């Protein structure tokens, strides 16, 4: 079994996005194990999306940096709010605010179990 899949399966089911509904959305941050770069995205199913990124079907941007690991994520009830927050976090990328999120210094963001 791939290392990223083992890590992902070690997360509680509710954190893996298995408690999926139309009104639960996640903004997430991944880190490439190959390039150490970060990727910020939004989904309603974290498990499926991470699987897609690591199998090269997620998006062109993440195809090169495989494998990816989940660093942290944040839940939202509204899709529009999640997308707006994704855009906001992307504007932070590389700055102090982004580093605070990935280092677990922002309470609203949950760190992935393996980090």
CATH code for the domain in which residue 78 is found: 3.40.1440
Q: List pLDDT tens digits, range 64-98.
A: 999 999 999 999 999 999 999 999 999 999 899 99
Mean pLDDT calculated for residue range 13-25: 62
Q: Which residues contact 111 (CB under 8 A, 6 or more apart)?
A: 71, 72, 104
* Residue % of the chain over a pLDDT of 70: 78
Domain span holding position 61: 3-111
> Mean pLDDT, the chain, as a whole number?
86
- At residue 35, does pLDDT exceed 70? yes
Q: What is the pLDDT of residue 2?
A: 58
Other beta carbons within 10 angstroms of residue 21's beta carbon come to 9
Q: In the chain, how many domains are there?
A: 1
The band of 23, judged by pLDDT with boundaries at 50, 70 and 90, is: confident
User: What tokens does 65 get?
Assistant: 């940096």
* Greater pLDDT, 21 or 103: 103
């Amino acid at each position: 079994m791939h290392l990223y899949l083992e890590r992902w399966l070690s997360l509680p089911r509710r954190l893996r996005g298995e408690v999926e509904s139309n009104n639960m959305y996640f903004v997430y941050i991944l880190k490439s194990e190959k390039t150490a770069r970060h990727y910020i995205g939004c989904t309603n199913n974290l498990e499926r999306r991470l699987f897609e990124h690591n199998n090269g079907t997620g998006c062109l941007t993440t195809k090169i940096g495989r494998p990816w690991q989940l660093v942290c994520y944040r839940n939202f009830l509204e899709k529009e709010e999640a997308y707006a927050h994704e855009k906001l976090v992307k504007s932070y990328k590389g700055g102090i605010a982004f580093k605070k999120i990935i280092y677990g210094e922002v309470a609203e963001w949950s760190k992935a179990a393996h980090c």
